[in-house]
Amino acid sequence: MNNDLLNNENFIRAAIDYSYLQDRNYPQKGTLKLVGDRYKLSGDQRTVLYRGISSAVSSDNRKIRLTTDIKDKILFIDGYNVLFTILNYRLGRLVFISTDGIMRDAGSLHGKIRNDEIFYDCISLLFDYFNVKNPAYLNIFLDSPVSHSAKHKSNIDKAFEQYSIKGSCQLVKSPDYEIKQNSDGIICTSDTAIIDRTNNKIADIPRAVLEKKFKYKLFKIEDIINSEIA
């Protein structure tokens, strides 16, 4: 993975400024434009700021809910959110650990999958991981408006059979709504709109999959915010 965009002094200064303003509750979008324009950031760099930096309070509140213990647990999975993050890594796009400890990416697939083979391989990677970790039940929700979502559901259904894992895959208009209705399991998503509206534990499945399969050392935004520039 090429993290050169995040290792230059200009971006580091921008991240420090953006974090400072987030901690003081400045509007996120206005702050992003202000800082992005000041430091002449690229689109990917702005995306990293937006997805990668939250206030210290929000970050700490999410961190304390993170768990890696999913054995015998019920999981509620934001299917495309999880799979697209793994897919973006496989496509060579920027992935990083946000200040809240959750892995995110700077990809912009917008529900468009141009390489079915790699996407289906991501499904296999996901189920390989679950096969080792032995959760009790997987509730996977896919956004029905996404192109070929019925075909993707069919492939996930086949994976359930192949791995003999208990669970279901549902096509729904809003995975956010479905996941937020459940309070008896662990949620698997990087979407703060879901995370901040539940009290559930959070499992960062894409990060766990990449660290297990590829031994990939992920770039932490927190490290550069805490760095000092001479």
Domain extent listing, the chain: 4-57+219-225, 63-214
β-pair type (186-188, 95-97): unpaired
Please tell me the distance from the alpha carbon of residue 52 to that of residue 106, in angstroms, as a whole number: 9
Give the dihedral sign, CA 6/7/8/13. positive
Tokens of 88: 């973006």
DSSP assignment of 45-108 equals HHHHHHHH---HHHHHHHHTTB----TT-EEEEEHHHHHHHHHHHHTT--EEE-TTS-EEE---
CATH of domain 63-214: 3.40.50
What span, in angstroms and rounded, lies between the C-alpha atoms of 161 and 181?
27
Any bridge partners for residue 104, and if so which? 96
pTM above 0.85, yes or no: yes
User: pLDDT band at residue 230, thresholds of 50, 70 and 90?
Assistant: very low
Angle at 114 between CA 117 and CA 169, to 5 degrees: 65
**DSSP tag of 186:** E
Banded model confidence at residue 2, pLDDT cuts 50, 70, 90: low
pLDDT digits (tens, 9 = 90+) for 88-125: 999 888 899 999 999 999 876 555 666 788 999 999 99
